[in-house]
Structure 1
Amino acid sequence: MNSETGAGAPLVVKDVVCGFCGLGCDDLEVEVAGREVRPRASVCPEAARLLRRLDTGAEAGPASDAVYGRARKLLEAARAPVFAGLGADVDGGRAILDLAARHGGVLDHAVSDGLFANYAAAQRTGWLATTLAEVRNHCDVLLVVGEDPSASFGRFFERALPTDPLFAASRQVIVLGGTLGAAARRQLGAAGVTEIAAEDLTAALSALTQMVAGPAPRGTSFGGAAADALEAAAAALKAAAYAVAVWNAAALEDADLIAERATRLVDALNITTRAGVFPLGGRDNIIGINQLLLWRLGYPLRTAIRGETSEHDSALYATEAALKDADLLVWVSAFRPEPPPAFGGPVIVIGHPDTQFATPPEVFIPVGTPGVDHAGTVFRMDAIVSLPLGALRVATLPSVAEAVRRLEPVR
């Protein structure tokens, strides 16, 4: 991060890295005045909301020794805890994993549904995945499957398809089953945009794949998509130097089937040209936490630790399913004020100080936000790049790692 200030003026911090949605934008600009943080430039609405801090004097203070003592007693009494949410930087994830190894329990992230829908497709078909840099540097035809990605990833098109006049006019975006909003179109500049209505994305993608591979199927529409529009899209994809298919599994019904059809389309394209998939995701460092479990346990999220062994099951150890047999929920959400799901047993929340609860948890330990209150590391959505987050202000709350380590037994 770079910073500058003048006498009596707020500190201007440039090149701030954002860890919220997984795009890994590293060019944000904010003003810091005391405890206030105000985004200035290159900030999407989501980052602006989550970065902004006003010094109202109402911020939660750190948890007391008695609160940590109560949490320790709940953990020691639990026989089937679930460690969920897991919105933390990598260091916080390490501490949570150590805690789960000590007490046993299931580990799952709040937004893992999309990740495991993509995993299911990759397990069935394999895939040729690309990176954000490859999309930015080489993609000339981008196939967007489903709704506008910028609804969840505010600067996706700005990051993936820059508006450099040398490239923008030669780039095409084909949206299958969705429409682009005004913000997305501004980011795309002169790039051509084609929108194809579709009701059944799996059927439309299957037909598009057949048109690419040949011979084309007979019919006037497939999954609600007009055959002539799909044929034009197939021609554009086949003529591309580097086509990329992108989707947000978290926003799609039958996401695993759609991801599988998209990978088959890319396979068909790679016979004659070059193409790749770029699945969207990565909110609240899910990629970093998943990488951490793979390094440490050899399994991804949705893994249970029992004594000296670990066991992975993507259905049985999803949060909703695991909570049916749990006797304690430990919910971690440092990036945003996300409350825990409903649970009939005791709940420990290690979370954002602004979290609002329908039912107060047995224990609430407020923690700082990575990239605002303390430094940390997160992973970008393509799992290629780890990004350093810097602190923007002096912390009054512990990080997730600091809070979790205070839950170790007192000796």
Structure 2
Amino acid sequence: MADVQTIENVACGFCGLGCDDLTVEVEGRQVRAKAPVCPEAARLLRRLDTADPVARVAGETASETEAADAARQILASARAPLIGGLGVDMAGAGAAVDLAIRFGGVLDHYASEGLFRNYAAAQRTGWLSTTLAEVRNRCDLLLVVGDDPSATWGRLFERFFPATPLFAGANRRVVFLGAAPGEKARGQLAGAQVVHHATEDPVAALEALGTLVAGRRPPGESFGGVGAEALAALAEELRNAHYAVVTWNAADLADGDLVATRATALVDRLNVTTRAGVFPLGGRDNIIGVNQLLLWRLGYPLRSAVRGQASSHDGTLFATEAALADADVLVWISAFRPEPPPAFAGKVIALAHPETVFDKEPDVLIPVGTPGVDHAGTVFRMDSIVSLPLGALRVATLPSVAEAVRRIAEG
């Protein structure tokens, strides 16, 4: 039996929150996380000492070289490839861009919907955003819009509200404008005062709140189901806060772009007399890092196309769902989690997490290792400020995405 090795201060690259205090036990090729850890990280870090799946071509076992050759042949004859998924570390993202430059294609991350809803607000007016460190150490009033985000980011409020912030005082308040906070959130916010205003129309509530902060009284007795007096009291609290922060998850909000717009306007008004910022939630599977890399390499964000020596961007036309309508080949890349590709009638090349379950056998399947488990890598935190180094936890038997793509592109 292999000795158990305990590794401390492990960084997690799955949700974008960037927790870097995990403790992991490694026994041979088995990997298991210990507390403090959220359920998602525990699930995605866990590995058993079992043989990894092998590459397949047309459903038949193949060597990695044969799979790379088959993928190259498909791409060489492709008319309009889509390189999607893009759940990769920074090296894998760079390799995906190289692949698009070699063969052409649209580049999009599977979780980009929330990002582009936020972009819609930022492009119209700009915004004053803050960082995780600023929220942790300065925020004395946090406004959470929409559903309880701790269902997605298991340790969010633990990271937002440490026991001893550097600058914020003892009277920290959290206001939920939308769904009620769950038991997990309330437990992590035990040291803060928690208030809940139920609404199914956060856009209306935010619009009225912004008007009240500006010193005007909108006509009406309630807005989005929240009473005018309750919103007036909240507006006064926001004006009196030393550092207010508004946060939301645009991906889970039907009107995410409008929520982002109203939140941005609210923060703009607050900054006339005090200090405030927005903290949009996101970052799943290094989407922030992948987006940064495309900006560096192509001058455009995700949902961009490379054709010949030119690149172009269209946030609607080059979204995955729309791009699939024109694509004849889908290159699906997901290394962090077993995220299956969307339904697609054309040819599929999958560089996939070894536990991925497919509704339809890909034309080429190359199982890949996970950054931060099988190999080292780098990811960006959700606030775009900090890049996190991920270390290898066990000896890899699968290639990284960067290695697999390089075999396809350079063969």
Using the size of structure 1 for normalisation, the TM-score is 0.96
TM-superposed CA distance for 1:218, in Å, is: 2.7
Per the alignment, residue 58 of structure 2 pairs with none
1:100 aligns with 2:93: no
The aligned runs of 1:39-118 (5 Å cut-off) are: 39-55=33-49, 57-61=50-54, 64=63, 65-118=65-118
- 1:404 and 1:365 map into 2 onto residues whose CA distance is 10
User: Distance between the aligned counterparts of 2:245 and 2:410, measured in 1?
Assistant: 50
Question: How far does residue 374 in structure 1 lie from its aligned partner after superposition?
Answer: 0.2
Contact preservation (8 Å) 1:140, 1:243: yes
Q: Which residue of 2 aligns with 1:29?
A: 23
Query: 2:258 matched to 1:257?
Result: yes
Map of 1:263-274 to 2, 5 A cutoff?
263-274=264-275
Distance in 1 (CA, whole Å) between partners of 2:67 and 2:397 is: 17
Q: Is contact 1:282–1:380 with CA below 8 Å preserved after alignment? A: yes
1:218 & 1:321 partners in 2: Cα distance? 41
Q: Report the CA distance shift for 1:326/1:8 in structure 2 as closer, same or farther (over 3 A).
A: closer
Q: Any residues of structure 2 matched to 1:341-360 within 5 Å, and which?
A: 341-360=342-361
The residue number in structure 1 matching 2:137 is 137
Corresponding residue pairs, total? 403
Alpha carbons of 1:330 and 1:165: their partners in 2 closer, same or farther (altered >3 Å)? Answer: closer
Deviation at 1:396, TM superposition (A): 0.4
- Distance in 2 (alpha carbons) for counterparts of 1:395 and 1:133: 34
Unaligned runs of 5+ in 1: 1-6
> Partners in 1 of 2:169 and 2:98 — Cα distance?
48
CA-to-aligned-CA distance 1:95-132 (integer Å, 9 cap, x gap): 11001001011000000000000000001111000000
Alignment of 1:199-278 (within 5 A): 199-278=200-279
**Residue 169 of structure 1, CA deviation:** 3.9
> Which range is displaced more, 166-175 or 261-270?
166-175
Contact 1:163 / 1:187 at 8 angstroms: preserved in 2?
no
SS of the residue corresponding to residue 150 of structure 1 reads helix
Q: CA deviation at 1:165?
A: 8.5
**CA apart distance, 1:233:** 1.2
- Per the alignment, residue 309 of structure 1 pairs with 310
* 1:58 Cα deviation from its structure 2 partner: 4.4
| SS of alignment partner, residue 409 of structure 2 | coil
Q: Following the alignment from structure 1 to structure 2, what is the Cα–Cα distance between the partners of residues 178 and 243? A: 20
> Which residue in the other structure is 1:376 paired with?
377
Q: Note the C-alpha offset of 1:168.
A: 7.2
Q: What SS is found at the alignment partner of 2:127? A: coil
Residue type matched to 2:8 in 1? Answer: K
| 3-state SS of paired residue (1:359) | coil
**1:5-20 alignment to 2 at 5 Å?**
9-20=3-14
Distance 2:100 2:402 in 1: 13
8 Å CA contact retained: 2:289, 2:380:
yes
What SS class does the counterpart of residue 406 from structure 1 fall into?
helix
Give the Cα–Cα distance (whole angstroms) in 1 for the partners of residues 27 and 89 of structure 2.
25
Is the partner of 1:373 in helix, strand or coil?
coil
Structure 2: runs of 5+ lacking an equivalent: 56-61
Could you tell me how far apart the structure 2 residues matched to 1:126 and 1:408 are? 38
Letter of the aligned partner of 1:158 in structure 2? E
2:298 aligns to what? 297
What is the TM-score of this pair, normalised by structure 2? 0.96
Q: Which amino acid letter does the alignment assign opposite residue 41 of structure 2?
A: A
Contact 1:61–1:396 (8 Å) recurs in 2: no
Written as runs of structure 1 = structure 2, the 5 A alignment for 1:317-356 is 317-356=318-357
Equivalent position SS for 1:293? helix
After TM superposition, give the deviation of residue 164 of structure 1 in Å: 3.0
Hey, what's the Cα distance between the residues in 2 that align with 1:138 and 1:323?
Answer: 44
One-letter code of the match for 2:258?
L
Aligned residue type for 1:16: V
Is 1:194 paired with 2:198? no
Aligned Cα root-mean-square deviation (Å): 1.4
Identity of paired residues, percent?
Answer: 66
Letter in 2 for 1:152: T
What CA deviation, in whole Å up to 9, does each residue of 1:359-396 have, x standing for no partner?
11101100000000000000000111111000000000
In 2, the alpha carbon distance for the partners of 1:236 and 1:357 equals: 51
Q: Give SS of 2:389's match.
A: strand
Given that residues 168 and 191 in structure 1 are in contact (C-alpha distance below 8 angstroms), is that contact kept between their aligned partners in structure 2?
A: no
Amino acid of the structure 1 residue aligned with 2:320: T
Range that drifts further, 322-331 or 67-76: 67-76
Partner of 1:390: 391
**For the residues of structure 2 that align with 1:308 and 1:164, how far apart are their CA atoms?**
52
Which secondary structure state, in structure 2, belongs to the residue aligned with residue 408 of structure 1?
helix
**1:202-224 deviation digits (Å, cap 9, x = unpaired):** 11100001111112213211011
1:386/1:210 CA distance change after superposition, 3 Å: same
For 1:252 and 1:163, locate their aligned partners in 2 and report how far apart those are by CA, in whole Å. 30
Q: Which amino acid aligns with 1:51?
A: L
Match of 1:177? 178
Partner of 1:4: none
1:311-357 CA distance string (max 9 Å, x none): 00000000010110111000000000000000010000001000001
How far, CA to CA, are the matches of 1:89 and 1:201 in structure 2?
A: 34
